């Protein structure tokens, strides 16, 4: 896992009824990520993991692993019930994946000791390296720096995905656990976090721009992240969060022909997003700059005109 700089937090496409996973669209998305040499994160918040049953999660993981991809697969671990989390890890330990993303427990807002014991149980069960996830906007509480320090010598804990929205969080983790690597968890923070020592990015935008985001990240890693195209990227980053993630990215993926339907499971609703034309205009500008549009023209050219 330590050699991968970009993971795509993959959406989970559904059929029109939202009852079934659309595996045709899922494979199409995955093949584009593989072609771009991006790692794949399954069952994260972008993948609507909380709306999936345990059986559906197993089926998705089985399906993706059976594709025998030439890229890394990381699986998101449930974030509110310890037995469910351990059960999924136990299942995935038998699969050819690369690691786990373990989220700060949601809703309950545990303190230092609770977080330490939660992650310790998950890490002890894990056969693979794990990334701990700081996402206070969804979990209700940040990943406690002291918990990070308490866990920093665990042999299965190798990185943090930081979506805390500020460099200060990253500084705290680097000071308390200098041996633990940091991934930027917010597309719009990429340049600032890379400049302060983050080793890579776990991205939402790369669902639609797998090669474009990889080029953007590589420029940041080479300290070339200040060219004029940055403003175009920042516009699309903002547009992708004008409704709850993954509603906007699914709307874009549907419009450009990468998924058949933009459907999301309740309580999310595709009808909560009405800025598609704005988002599409930013996408088209970036896709031309990054030579992304060519590969979509044979998929559904009418949709991106």
Active site (catalytic) residues: 133, 161
Q: What is the 3-state secondary structure (H, E, C) of the chain?
A: CCCCCEEEECCCCECCCCCCECHHHHHHHHHHHHHCCCEEEECCCCCCHHHCCHHHHHHHHHHHHCCCCCCCEEEEECCCCHHHHHHHHHHHCCCCCCEEEEECCCCCCCCHHHHHHHHHHHHHHCCCCEEEEECHHHHCCCCCHHHHHHHCCCCCEEEEEECCCCHHHHHHHHHHCCCCEEEECCHHHHHHHHHCCCCEEEECHHHCCHHHHHHHHHHHHCCCCCCCHHHHHHHHHHHCCCCCCCHHHHHHHHHCCCCCCCCCCCCCCHHHCCCHHHHHHHHHHHHHHCCCHHHHHHHHHHHHC
Q: Is 234 exposed, middle or buried (0-12, 13-18, 19+ CB in 10 A)?
A: middle
């Amino acid at each position: 896992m330590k050699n991968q700089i970009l993971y795509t937090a993959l959406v989970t496409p559904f059929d029109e009824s939202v009852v079934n996973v659309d595996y045709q669209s899922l494979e199409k998305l995955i093949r584009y990520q593989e072609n771009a040499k991006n790692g794949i994160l399954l069952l994260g918040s972008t993948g609507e993991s909380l709306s999936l049953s345990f059986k559906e999660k197993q089926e998705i993981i089985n399906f993706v692993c059976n594709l025998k991809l030439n890229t890394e697969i990381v699986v998101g671990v449930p974030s509110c019930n310890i037995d469910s989390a351990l059960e999924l890890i136990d299942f995935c330990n038998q699969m050819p994946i690369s690691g786990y993303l373990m989220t700060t427990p949601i809703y309950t807002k545990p303190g230092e000791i609770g977080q330490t014991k939660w992650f310790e149980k998950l890490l002890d069960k894990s056969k693979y390296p794990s990334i701990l996830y700081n996402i206070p906007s969804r979990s209700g509480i940040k990943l406690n720096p002291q918990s990070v320090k308490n866990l920093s010598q665990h042999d299965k804990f190798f990185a943090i995905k930081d979506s805390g929205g500020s460099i200060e969080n990253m500084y705290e983790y680097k000071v308390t656990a200098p041996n633990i690597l940091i991934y930027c968890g917010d597309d719009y923070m990429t340049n600032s976090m890379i400049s302060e020592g983050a080793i890579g990015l776990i991205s939402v935008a790369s669902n639609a721009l797998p090669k474009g985001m990889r080029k953007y990240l590589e420029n940041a890693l080479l300290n070339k992240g200040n060219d004029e195209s940055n403003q175009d990227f920042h516009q699309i980053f903002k547009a992708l969060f004008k409704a709850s993630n993954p509603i906007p990215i699914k709307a874009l993926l549907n419009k450009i022909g990468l998924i058949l339907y933009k459907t999301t499971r309740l309580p999310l609703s595709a009808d909560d997003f009405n800025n598609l034309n704005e988002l599409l205009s930013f996408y088209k500008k970036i896709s031309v700059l990054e030579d992304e549009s060519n590969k979509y023209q044979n998929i559904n050219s009418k949709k991106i005109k």
